[in-house]
């Protein structure tokens, strides 16, 4: 295991964990099966990204939530959706997800810049490309599918 206490990597771990939680919470607000499957798949991908990045950071006590050995979130994640607002207007779910996607893209770009020339760049580039594809797909589905009103 490589010991790297890079703040950029720690931030990526945190944002991947929070993104996964946000995606899993959002599932219950969409009524389209394809979108719900996409949210679940992207959530799992983000959990896997966090686990991979943890292997690079390994030695520090990062302030992000941890993942269990099976890849599931453990307590310590702070991301929560504003449920009262979402019940009043479920379309806010997709708007919030798209805003979060832009944040995670920006975080990856900063990390790629901050770690230029290091051995972690190939991993970050691969994950960044996954993030872009997931965000583009989410944006497309958000325009094409209805949102539940429960």
For residue 123, pLDDT over 80 is answered with yes
Give the separation between CA 81 and CA 86, rounded to whole angstroms: 8
Residue 95: predicted pLDDT: 79
Q: Is 73 helix (H, G, I), strand (E, B) or coil?
A: strand
Output the pLDDT for position 128: 97
- Name the percent of the chain lying above pLDDT 90: 35
Q: In the prediction, which pLDDT does 53 show?
A: 93
The CATH architecture of the domain made up of 7-144 is Up-down Bundle (1.20)
Residues 20 and 134: beta-carbon distance below 8 Å: no
pLDDT tens-digit readout, 9-42: 899 999 999 999 989 988 877 777 888 888 899 9
Given a cut of 60, whether residue 81 has pLDDT beyond it is no
């Amino acid at each position: 295991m490589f010991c790297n206490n890079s703040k950029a990597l720690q931030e990526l771990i945190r944002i991947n964990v929070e993104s996964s939680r946000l995606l899993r919470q959002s599932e219950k607000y969409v009524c389209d099966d394809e979108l719900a499957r996409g949210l679940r798949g992207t959530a799992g991908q983000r959990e896997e990204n966090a686990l991979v990045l943890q292997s690079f950071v390994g030695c520090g006590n990062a302030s992000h939530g941890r993942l269990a050995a099976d890849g599931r979130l453990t307590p310590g994640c702070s991301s929560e959706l504003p449920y009262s607002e979402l019940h009043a207007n479920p379309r806010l779910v997709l708007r919030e997800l798209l805003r979060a996607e832009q944040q995670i893209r920006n975080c990856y770009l900063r990390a790629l810049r901050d770690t230029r020339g290091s051995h972690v760049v190939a991993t970050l580039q691969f994950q960044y490309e996954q993030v872009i594809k997931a965000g583009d797909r989410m944006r497309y589905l958000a325009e094409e599918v209805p949102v539940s009103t429960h």
